[in-house]
Amino acid sequence: MERRFASHPNEVKQFDTERLRKEFHIPVIFAPDELKLVLTHEDRMIVGGANPVTKDVVLTTDLKELGVTYFLERRELGIINVGGKGTVVVDGTEYEVDTKECLYVGQGSKDVIFKSVDAAKPAKFYLNSAPAHQSYPTTKTNLAESESGAMGGMENANERTIHRFIHTNGVQSAQLVMGMTQLKAGSMWNTMPSHTHPRRMEAYFYFDLPEDQAVFHLMGEPTETRHIVMHNEQAVISPSWSIHSGVGTHNYTFIWSMAGDNKRYDDMDAVSIKELQ
């Protein structure tokens, strides 16, 4: 498991492209038959992926890094499959998780195993884990069951549908909030006008993006913006003090996840477009 440290906005505004990517960009989420994990000290979120192809993948890591005897002893886990059909086995119970379905695994679950139904179309389980102070039941949900809403419009190239999976009105958690936003064809902007929420960090995972296209992810303080070029199936860490917005050369889908002081999806400090520099 790779470790990333937290950073101060006064420091980040001096980063060049290489340093910015090193600190916040996660270029590889999926590798065949591997578990890839990045621990960020931004609210101790873990971002990663499991890609079982020819064998099962087990949720494990160097437990000394977490100070526990098993991965979810003091953590909870959100899973969204962005590949072919798969199965997640939690303490012996199997959950079928199809494309764009979500599974929440509560604190105290000891054994988590990821499987693909078809090696020719392997599952790709995108993972977010946050520290937990209370255990909630393992729960599966999908797009049809999620709290969804349309936002934006074609006139601003940001017509999109937001699906909330793990949140106060959906699947319950200790602190993890997780969902998915799908941009309509012809739309390219997400989260614009932008905002910050200093009470919690956020991570973005971009997918459904053609291999020859890109998303310019915006971050930084509103008056000190920076950008990171993202490609398909890559993730980015957004500190609590940073905006998190982006524009693509093609429409795309992204998964957002948050951890911090509260679970209110609408807890944000708006930033007008005129304020951005």
* Binding-site sequence positions for Zn(2+): 195, 197, 202, 244
How far is 27 from 233, CA to CA, in rounded Å? 8
Q: Which residues are annotated as a binding site?
A: 195, 197, 202, 244
- Residue written as token pair 């000394």: 64
Q: How far is 92 from 89, CA to CA, in rounded Å? A: 6
Cβ(111)–Cβ(220) under 8 Å? no
Which tokens belong to 158? 């940001």
